[in-house]
Structure 1
């Protein structure tokens, strides 16, 4: 499951990063800021019942537009508010006709970013930039309020969970003025950092989505065409190259993946992927599988909270929407069924290697030092879980 959004902000590579509507890793709950104008309030959605329903969680005064909310697996909602030079955090929950609030504490920062919901559902984390390093804070789920759990050298953005336990986190890191590279951070080893993705030494390589079941990775990189970022895919632990399908390259629209079909343990190439497509006509939905060469473009439901959605294991995409007549709705789209074809060729010269601590594909194999992936902690993500 994936954190998703109503509105998005452009990153350095032109990617629309989701900010706003967030879904728990198990797909049971979601949260957003509802309302209009200056009358904003948190709202929790319940998604795992026969029909979705929304519960408003207003407090004594409206929320600011930059307030962030993250749903927890127990139905509570984490809220983060910026107050001058810090962010304060609380857990909200319905209690009769009112909203209960449990204060958690604060983190000194003016640029804090909440990460997608942790797979374990009980913790929430944030990235806090500093002068030479990025701090990872546990802002909910700790014993004594917010706790500093790791510091990663460089400026880090993004945030993708790589396992089902909430131990391995991928972030996109820039060191000094160098390129952006995805690295894996082991939160159970004091923030031990290992390389995860390097296609060439000079390319910007970002991890957008990962599915822990199949190991499917969705990547954005300018390795195939320097200066132009493209969508690619690979498989964690595979020796095959990172691929950049032509069908995911639309000349007049931005394409951003937001959900991967879970449960495909041994079939990463058959995972259905949902993509948000933004063009002059608005936003619509793309449906695609790595095993096929075709991107299916379909109209989004009216009132779609653009960029938000989740797959069921059986291949049904559920898209949340709000209209004047429907306060809380879920539209359903079936994943296209098509005969698989031979995978599209990789970028010219790209050769996959399992790099020192992650997935590598190098245009010049001699440049990138290959080290087997099984030597990295990622290879033990299943054994670490149990």
Structure 2
């Protein structure tokens, strides 16, 4: 395991990406899902080599990307994904839209499990379908799929479900049994499951993550997975994702997409993803997971000490915290006041669905110092 630590604030403020350009320098940005760590060394080397020789053309018709991801999935998840059933595109969102366009007809309904990553609502609409909201069920210990309500939605005509596995914003890792039950339901109704697994590399050790297509024969018959190195390795701007299938019928749908869907893959994104998925980057990823484990626990300690009215469940995956601030009395969208008065930018809870009222999403993929500063700033509002 390599030691992975966040870059200092002065270096981060030299970045030109969304996280560091949306707000002025007096604001601590903990909203959009970018991380503050240096790139894995293998990725830096791959990109530097490409720049040195001008390797900046179109992606090739034959690349090592699928084989690289298949090996990564085998090492990290124990999943024997078939490299022959993978096809690249620009990003996970594009992959979702292209699949939904082919498994639903215009006006048909697609289930999303709120609170959920806000672009899901737009992606379903972009594909020509209609959003059917089926909230996760909270049992006091965690969140889980509401299988009874999902069955009811299928029974009323929903043709697909857009799954978030692991779930954003809650950090929930859906159990194998729950995913198997979902697959059986979808198979019974002839519906598709499109599983966004972009946060999968960020599952904490021992959590028991299962890729959807590894769950059962039913999952393989009706399922599609869309994956990327972008969240774990901070490569969102380089544009590369994989659409994965596990049955002849689903593979035919992805294989039948126009070649332009694949050519939208970024050359730098592909080179970086191959390096990220290589065994050479495993030690860096283990170090990142260790740093995030410390940060998710630090956040719990800080909230308990400074904002005891906040309700926070430590996530099993990712670097995003879903925090209920309802008891502080700051309204349905407390992030607005926090931005205005504490100069801390958090993601607006209501953007994730009605269940997000009173909530904020906090990105803790940064340094302990920035996390501490942010929570102390917010706590000062209570003290006033």
With normalisation by structure 1, the TM-score equals 0.27
- The structure with the largest strand share of the pair is 1
- The structure with the largest helix share of the pair is 2
Q: Pick 1 or 2: higher relative contact order, CA cutoff 8 A, min separation 6.
A: 2
